[in-house]
Amino acid sequence: MSREIHKHKTITKSLNHQITKLVVAGGGTGGHVFPGMAVVEAMESHGHIDVLWIGTGRPVEKNALSGRKWDYRILNTRPLRGSGLAATMRSLAGLPFSTIRACSWLKSFRPHVVLGVGGYVSGPALLAARMLRIPAALHEQNLIPGLTNRLASRFAKTVFVSFKETVKYFPKNRVIFTGNPIRKNIIQSLSHQITKSPNHSTTKSLNLLVLGGSQGARCLNRLAGSAIQVLWQSGFHLEIIHQTGKLDMPHVEKFYKDANIPAKVTPFISNIGESYSWADLVICRAGAGTLAELTTMGKPSILIPYPWATDSHQDANAGKLTEAGAAKYFLEEEIGAIKLAGEIQSLLEDPQKLINMGENARKLGKPTAATEIASTLIEMAGHTFSYSETETNSLKGSTVRNHV
């Protein structure tokens, strides 16, 4: 079943005259937090909403949500996997208490709809919604779903997925392929992005963006820095923006300074859309959120998945882009600085290859994901979602709800 967007001439009920109360449950990593934030932003742009975010309290989550006028509460629960049998048993023993706490919060907040965005707090929150008969949905970012989302999907009326290949892991009649929602400033930067030849004036110049990531950043930061040093010593003077993460910034900054390599080093890039627009090539991990950004922006990449990701989901994500001709993908254990430098050089000397990879990446992009999810959530809440003329034009001819 599919439905296409058409321009709204008249709407009997407009979201602008309603208040939708939304609970977002999940977090812990940027890959869970940012998609949820993107959906809330899409809903906020169309009307009044009250938001309760139930999260883990981890730093990346707190930093991302700081300054937002949303109610933010921390649910003390533990992951079910990755810490040994004893820890798993303690996690299971704590689930009833987490669910009771989540029930209490939902009863007092009285949401119209609940969205789980992954992470171990999603499970108790979605179970609480089911117990209270509150409509609930779940978003899976990765190609291979994690254990929490597989279990939590039993309590969700609708499951949104980022990859078509993920459909098989969930009940067929409840899955909607939407893509992965990305931040508003990235979507906005699309209209300002200028198509340019990636080789600039010479074949020894390239705008290189390195995204260290929030997990396992040190190895990637050092690998990328060493590869850049090899290229610099060989006469390839790259323009570099390097996001390191907070802990690794002093080391990386000192490394470039000692090597006499001018580079912009920052712990976190707040307006990542501008950096993507600037970049000719991106070196990064293969988290689902990052890949959604790469494909929306149409950027070629060299992907080095985080080796300790649960169920090797970053390897699967990276494989998808590589198969599509949008990226090159290497395991951390198989690539060193010399080999990485060689891969960068081969792309630098073949501008058409970079252009082709970017075009292939763009074909995989789903820039309307946040709006599609927002519209479905508002329908689940019993309200009416009205598209702006800009969104109507951008979505014209595309399928918004793609039940598989």
**Where do the structural domains in the chain lie, given as residue ranges?**
2-182+367-402, 188-363
176 has a pLDDT exceeding 90: yes
Q: Which residues lie across from 401 on neighbouring strands?
A: 3
Range ranked top by mean pLDDT from 57-66, 211-220, 290-299:
290-299
The chain-wide mean pLDDT, for the chain, equals 86
pLDDT digit string, tens, across residues 375-386: 999 999 997 665
Q: Within 48-190, where are the H helices?
A: 59-65, 84-109, 122-131, 147-152, 184-190
Q: Which CATH superfamily is domain 188-363 in?
A: Glycogen Phosphorylase B; (3.40.50.2000)
* Chain segment 181-196, per-residue pLDDT in tens: 998 889 888 866 655 5
Q: 311-324, pLDDT tens digit by residue?
A: 788 999 999 999 99
Weakest-pLDDT range from 36-50, 158-172, 292-306, 388-402: 388-402
CA distance 123 to 99: 8
The pLDDT of residue 213? 65
Question: In this model, does residue 14 exceed pLDDT 50?
Answer: no
Q: Which residue would you say has higher pLDDT here, 24 or 193?
A: 24
**What integer pLDDT is reported at residue 201 of this predicted model?**
47
> What pLDDT shows up at residue 248?
92
With 60 as the cut, is the pLDDT of residue 288 above it?
yes
Q: For residue 400, name the pLDDT band (cuts at 50, 70, 90).
A: very low
Say if residues 77 and 102 touch (Cβ distance below 8 Å). Answer: no
Phi first, then psi: what are they for 222, rounded to 5°? -70, -40
Contact between 179 and 162 under an 8 Å Cβ cutoff? The reply is yes
pLDDT at residue 217, rounded to an integer: 79
188-363 has the same fold as 2-182+367-402: yes
CATH level 2 (architecture), domain 2-182+367-402: 3-Layer(aba) Sandwich (3.40)
Which whole number is the average pLDDT over 257-275? Answer: 93
Band of pLDDT at residue 93, cut at 50, 70 and 90? low
Residue with tokens 């920052």: 266
Task: Evaluate if residue 367 carries a pLDDT over 90.
Answer: yes
pLDDT higher than threshold 70 for residue 200: no
Looking at residue 397, what is its pLDDT?
Answer: 36
